A and B are shown apart, each in its own frame.
Chain A
Amino acid sequence: MKGLFKSKPRTPADIVRHTRELLIYVDLNSNSRDTKREEKMAELCKNIRELKSVLYGNSESEPVAEACAQLTQEFFRENTLRLLIVCLPKLNLEARKDATQVVANLQRQQVHSRLIASDYLEANKDLLDLLISGYEDMDIALHYGAMLRECIRHQSIARYVLESEHMKKFFDYIQLPNFDIASDASATFKELLTRHKSTVAEFLARNYDWFFTEFNSRLLSSPNYITRRQAIKLLGDMLLDRSNSAVMIRYVSSKDNLMILMNLLRESSKNIQIEAFHVFKLFAANQNKPLEITSILVTNKDKLLRFLKDFKIDKEDEQFEADKAQVVKEIQALKKENTS
């Protein structure tokens, strides 16, 4: 170890402590524009870069586990993460990117085989509120967004965000006009709703009504092409996940949902049609179709069969063809029931 730090007299913990002092200074003297602050600022940026190179390595060396652990431990021993997040808007672009990468990396660092970042965040959940609010500020949205996505790798943190009022805000964020920010928000939204299976299943079961009402009306029926396309893909991912089977059964038993899906099938966008089919097939395959579902399918039987007959995807896909054959079979079978 001694040899390793010969060229760098400061230990990783030293760098963290120095960074923290500088952050406190910058935070307190936010308005002064004197040269001293400028100097401190430059020093801070340099320190953040050094933190990054300890965690990620640099062109000369790979990261060293022991150094990373030291850094992580010192970082979370005090409020460095809070200071860094709060001061981020004051940093220049390069330092913001470095800080984001540092925070992202720290979420995965284990100290004595514990993710201490998770413990810290659980005790400081208001930081997540701060990160989420970043979507309202174009300047910092991409940095806070990237940090947020790393933080919700921790299941307990994802649960906190899912169950917070913030979930409703995502329906706005993912339709922001700025593509970079909107797509970052929708990546986070997707991560929240797909990453931690049991937590997601629990969330959807408990919040079924408002969530799918919003999802249907604001996302699947959005006038915005990209919103619809991303939403229908996410819906398929959610409903086709085994852990969400209870939610799926509930979803495919609703006439309103079926109508939305059938409208999406009629879209001129092939991408949307295909994703819609993957959800539509669940309605058709449901062995306990409610009467209202059966009746819609029967009423539109000819049209549906004609549609499915012509419905092809560009590349060969056996699974798709098999699914389609199954759906056709189910819909054809409905006729017999009806006439008998």
Chain B
Amino acid sequence: MYPLDAKCYRLLYEVGSGVSAVVYKAVCLPPMDSSVVAIKSIDLERSRANLDDVRREAKAMALLSHPNVLRAHCSFTVDRHLWVVMPFMAAGSLQSIISSSFPDGLPESSIAVVLREILHALSYLHGQGHIHRDIKAGNILVDSDGSVKLADFGVSASIYESHPSSSVSLYMSSSSSSFFNDMAGTPYWMAPEVIHSHMGYGIKADIWSFGITALELAHGRPPLSHLPLSKSLMMKITNRLRLEEHGRDSTGGGNCKNKKKFSKAFKDMVAACLCRDPSKRPSADKLLRHPFFKNCKSTDYFVKNVLQAVPVVEERCKEPRVADCNGNDRDGSTSPLVKSRRVSGWNFNEDVFELDPVYPVESDDKCVRFGGEEPIDQPTAHPHSHVVDDDKSGNEADEKENHRRHHNHSRAEEKEVAKKAGEAPLSVLKQTLVPNLVSLLSSLDLQRGMVMDVLSHCGCKDGQQESLREQQLWGYVRSMQQTVDDLKLQLLREMKVNAELQERLGPLNRKMNEETGGHTGS
């Protein structure tokens, strides 16, 4: 029994902090057993979650009992803070382990060990009618003996903070309400049906996040995390993400040396989790029977091969910018800015792209493949300046002409690129696409202007010049607003196109490699 009084604990040092929560390593003072605990102190005043949510989560956490699920010893309020007393997991979160010692990901045999433990946790949770809704390396805690626990069920203030607009309840309360309409979780790990929030979602959303987590452990970061948040979200919503195809792709042609990095069983397991149709994703129980876990090592293996290479959690927590100690999600996309800063430290031009999702275009005949590899970090800067420039230049007829030319030109270019797959760097595509869009915009503007003219001429017949002029002026104002809106829209589309292009680069490059491999062979 742990005491419900702050006086009975001594806080040793901070092991993690978020916007409204801090996690401390602490000891329970004598006459209690002076055991070491982790205390998460959540600032209830700053946390945007309403108290009902906090209550539900605390309750869920108190009633769960499984070796792979982190259970709170107790919780009580200390003035404006809620203290949640938990077991101290000495090795910290997997995310923290990866970022301190395995930036390129963990070896596959070690991944299998932790994933199996997490599947046990998921199997238990799902059997209880619970959905975790935020499976990720940052929420998987490891103790020095290699025991693995899934953490952060809701009383996680950092999660509340990351989506202030939605009422986030991470953890559902009973199987009678296994569908949600609120957004919850951390975007990169989120399943499409969670993002399509109107559809509601069930336990299979956790399986998706589990698959993404597998990739995160393998690569050191979740897929798509090189993109700003909104884009990653948008891509999932707008694209037909068919990873089963991807799975076939990557297992089919085994020529490339990159592809030897992961076993077929692993790829197959991940691809099954990332099936777009939730009903086709395997359950946690079924996953446990997957060949990938067949010769899975014990947690001792994980201790020897991973934990011994990792500095103790205290050391990691002293370093600046080390995210995520003890399950406290500080990197968790509190803002895209933070995210990109964290991500920019990694190397993108690597074979690690291999397992990233592939976005095939809708119809196969249109399936243009692009080559070249120059990931763009700030694709938004460019179109913006173009737009401004073109807005200034007033020669509309020219612009229209330009637009047509650009259009044809870019089409030709696309074909060319497709032919020479691999030779045209993405920047070329960008150069053609951006002006193309910009001129499209100006042509729209021109047409709008013409319509406005026609309208004003028609109006003049009535002879009420004064009020007409006013109306005209208002019309212009409105059209200006419209233009601004259109520009925004175009910008978004442009961003999307860029993102798509980037996604297509991966497989194309592979294809190119195969081709060149074939050439040299022949």
Q: Show the binding face of A for B, using Cβ within 8 Å.
A: 56, 59, 93-94, 97, 101, 104-105, 142, 177-180, 183-184, 186-187, 224-226, 229-230, 269-271
Q: Show the binding face of B for A, using Cβ within 8 Å.
A: 4-5, 44-45, 51-52, 54-55, 58-59, 62-63, 65, 74-77, 79-80, 82, 128-129, 174-176, 283
Given A59-B283, A101-B175, A225-B44, is A183 in contact with B5 using a C-beta cutoff of 8 Å?
Answer: no
Q: Is the CB of A179 within 8 A of B82?
A: yes
Q: Is the CB of A101 within 8 A of B174?
A: yes
Q: Is the CB of B77 within 8 A of A179?
A: yes
Q: Is the CB of A225 within 8 A of B77?
A: yes
11 A-B residue pairs with Cβ-Cβ distance under 8 Å, sorted by A, are A56-B129, A94-B65, A177-B76, A179-B58, A179-B76, A179-B77, A184-B55, A225-B44, A225-B45, A230-B51, A269-B80
Taking CB as reference atom, which chain B residue is nearest A145?
Answer: B59
- Taking CB atoms, residues of chain A closer than 8 Å to B80 are 225-226, 269
Q: Is the CB of A178 within 8 A of B54?
A: no
- Taking CB atoms, residues of chain B closer than 8 Å to A230 are 51
Q: A178-B76, A180-B75 are known contacts; what are 15 more A-B pairs with Cβ within 8 Å?
A: A101-B174, A101-B175, A177-B5, A179-B74, A179-B82, A180-B62, A183-B55, A183-B59, A187-B55, A225-B77, A226-B51, A226-B82, A229-B44, A229-B51, A270-B45
- Taking CB atoms, residues of chain B closer than 8 Å to A270 are 45
- Taking CB atoms, residues of chain A closer than 8 Å to B44 are 225-226, 229
The answer for the CA separation of A59 and B45 in the assembled complex, in Å, is 40
- Taking CB atoms, residues of chain A closer than 8 Å to B51 are 183, 226, 229-230
- Taking CB atoms, residues of chain B closer than 8 Å to A187 are 52, 55
Taking CB as reference atom, which chain A residue is nearest B164?
Answer: A315
Taking CB as reference atom, which chain B residue is nearest A55?
Answer: B176
Q: Is the CB of B63 within 8 A of A97?
A: yes
- Taking CB atoms, residues of chain B closer than 8 Å to A226 are 44, 51, 77, 80, 82
Q: Is the CB of B77 within 8 A of A97?
A: no
Closest 7 CB pairs of A and B: A183-B55, A177-B4, A179-B75, A180-B62, A225-B80, A226-B77, A179-B76
The answer for the CA separation of A209 and B7 in the assembled complex, in Å, is 38
- Taking CB atoms, residues of chain A closer than 8 Å to B75 are 178-180
- Taking CB atoms, residues of chain A closer than 8 Å to B79 are 225
Q: Is the CB of B55 within 8 A of A178?
A: no
- Taking CB atoms, residues of chain A closer than 8 Å to B62 are 142, 180
- Taking CB atoms, residues of chain B closer than 8 Å to A225 are 44-45, 77, 79-80
Among A93, A105, A184, contact of B59 (Cβ-Cβ < 8 Å): A184
What distance in Å separates the Cβ of B343 from its nearest Cβ neighbour in chain A?
Answer: 29
Q: Is the CB of A178 within 8 A of B74?
A: yes
What distance in Å separates the Cβ of A107 from its nearest Cβ neighbour in chain B?
Answer: 11
Residue among A105, A183, A184 with max Cβ neighbours from chain B (10 Å): A183
